[in-house]
Amino acid sequence: MAEFRHLFSPLQIGSFTVRNRIVSTPHHTLFTDDDGLPGAREIAYWVSKARGGIGLVESHVHGIHWSIGDTFAQPAAVTKFRNATEAIHAEGAKFVGQLWHPGAQGNAAIRSPWAPSPVSQPDSWAVPHEMTVAETREVIGGYARGAAVLREAGVDGAEIHGAHGYLITQFLSPLSNKREDEYGGDFERRMTFALEIIDAIRNEVGRDWTVGMRISGDEMTEGGYTSDDFVRMIPFLTADGQLDYLSVSVGTYRSKDTVIAPSYYPNGAFVYLSALAKEVLDIPVFCIGRINDPVMAEQILEDRQADMVGMTRANICDPELPRKAREGRLDEIRHCIGCNEGCWGHVETLRPINCAFNPSVGREEYWGDIRQTASPKRVVVAGGGPAGCEAARVAAAAGHSVTLFEAGEELGGQTLTAARAPGRSDWGEIGRYFSAELRRLGVDVRVGSRAQAGDILALKPDHVIVATGGTPRVPDGIEGIELPHVVQAWEVLNGRAVAGDRVLVLDDEHHIQAASAAEYLASQGKQVVIVTREFQIGPNMEPNTRMATLRRLDGAGVAVSATTWVRSIAPGSAVLYHFYSEQDREESFDAVVMACGIIPETALSRQLTESGLQVRSVGDCAGPGRLEMATFQGHLAAREIDGDVPRDRPLVSMPIRRG
């Protein structure tokens, strides 16, 4: 059993002590009440982390000034922050609130955003208003007032958000600060805004209450500040003991795929930045960077690269990770795969967060724990992809007798194929986790056994959950689509050889499959062209994943032709046409790869229904979807066996599509 001598040791952070070194760093949830303050849903989410054994919970960003909405001016601010603090304390964790101003990244639809200089930022179309000296000092006062409210509410400390390209970063960065007054012009004057914020907060709350700062150790953007500049900043920021800790993050909205890194980035990718601070500081240093394994977290601490380990998405995916690690139950941990679909992907589309791998996340307030059944039933699940596995897990955890059929030799379904794509190996965690959990829960798992209606009927089940997935779609209206050199992306990723040197990939799935197949083929030295009807490939990808994907495709030499489709295919060539110019062109291709979506497999469900069984279809066989929908449907179907699904709030909000 792994030993965690460092990870589960206490640490003094200014005025408070945490029970262990795991921190859930600030992140948007979109669970707040209408006044922007923590309500029952958000508190339940934070409490689940505290109950799972984490050391420190940090809030999401809270605005400190009327120019972006002043959370701390709301009448209920003290009461609601106190409610959150007391609930988190009751479970043994500490709580820190975050103070924030987005600057030029504010909502330009409401008013012109404020910034140090009129330099526009990603995700905001407006050239910002250049703050006057008086306005700058007014905003500084807002940080101090916010900290005072948090202290009055009994919150354990305040964190100044100086990272990710928000207002403080904009003052620190030569890319966005073009001023020539006391707040800009050279390195030291660009530091003034941040230093005056720290001083103002200390003058307001004193020295006996914890104040920390989050900062990007490198903007990862051409023209921005670098890790060398960050090392120069550290002694200024931490002079005279003004800060009790430094939380080292990375990136801005120009390099957003580093801020919330998708699975392409290696685990612990940015810990080296916290290590730079740790070399020169004697206050606690926090790190981040796709740290989803407690064994890795322990090694970071042992190597003195940080004092607190940010395991934010890891703790979203499995709020009980700390307790499981401490108790030696490592196989039971549901490790984050870095898909970003339910967490940051929801924030980008203004939906409350959840987890694509763990559908209970965000529903803590009204789902609660899985309820033990009073009348165990015989349940059969057909299909061992994410939907079927989650259904089997929940049904077994409730006390039902469960048998699961899976045609393949492993659990995981399409995630096994996804894991074979370059940079996507973390998707193999889904099959690993479910294999371990179903074994632990006593599910009768029959791999290599395709579910047949007769086999299921012979078991005399009370409930059947069908999760048979689907088959790759072949698009209509393309002459020559049936030729032997036209293959599916699934086949390519599963190892089928593609002849020739020049390959055309059809993206009609609008997610990541076409890009994955294209990168896989490019890694074999092939020339690859992707065509899509859309304005860009993969418009339905989570934006950080898409940013990283486009970087990789460009680096691999993959050509992308948007608003273009294929009219006909012949041996050695294809005729493409552009939607707007209405021009055709013929190009040479040795092979064509289709990534065009899924056709649901419904035959088994129909047969069982006609036999009189109670059947629920989930996952792709109920309609093509992503991992998030598959696990949600599987979880819900199992809970509904006993009617264990409160209906007092909507369970799924509709996505908002962004191009």
User: Going by C-beta distance under 8 Å and a sequence separation of 6 or more, which residues neighbour residue 434?
Assistant: 384, 386, 389, 390, 392, 393, 411, 412
Rounded alpha-carbon distances, angstroms, from residue 239 to 197, 199, 248, 316:
13, 11, 17, 34
Q: 184: which 2 tokens?
A: 């800009």
Can you state the angle between helices 40-51 and 77-90, rounded to 10 degrees? 20
Confirm if 16 and 157 have CB atoms less than 8 A apart.
Answer: yes
Q: Which of 143, 166, 245, 433 is catalytic?
A: 166
Residue ranges with strand state E in 101-256? 114-115, 129-130, 157-162, 210-216, 245-249
Confirm if 645 and 636 have CB atoms less than 8 A apart.
Answer: yes
Rounded alpha-carbon distances, angstroms, from residue 261 to 250, 344, 433:
10, 10, 22
Confirm if 354 and 362 have CB atoms less than 8 A apart.
Answer: yes
Residue type, 557: G
Q: Is 271 helix (H, G, I), strand (E, B) or coil?
A: helix
Q: Phi first, then psi: what are they for 384, rounded to 5°?
A: -110, 30
Report the C-alpha gap between 121 and 223 in whole angstroms: 13
Catalytic annotation on 166?
Answer: yes
- DSSP labels, 53-82: T-SEEEEEEEEEETTTEEGGGSTTHHHHHH
Rounded alpha-carbon distances, angstroms, from residue 500 to 221, 440, 504:
38, 47, 11
Q: Is 516 helix (H, G, I), strand (E, B) or coil?
A: helix
Count the Cβ atoms, other than its own, within 10 Å of residue 280: 11
What residues pair up with 596 in beta bridges, in sequence order?
A: none
Residue type, 293: D
User: Going by C-beta distance under 8 Å and a sequence separation of 6 or more, which residues neighbour residue 600?
Assistant: 469, 470, 620, 621, 622, 623, 624
Report the C-alpha gap between 78 and 81 in whole angstroms: 5
What's the start-to-end Cα distance of the chain, in Å? 47
Report the C-alpha gap between 537 and 515 in whole angstroms: 8
Q: Phi first, then psi: what are they for 647, rounded to 5°?
A: -115, 20
* The residue to which tokens 């972006």 are assigned: 68
Report the C-alpha gap between 597 and 513 in whole angstroms: 9
**What H or E segment, with its residue span, contains residue 144?**
helix 133-152
Task: List, by residue number, the catalytic residues.
Answer: 166
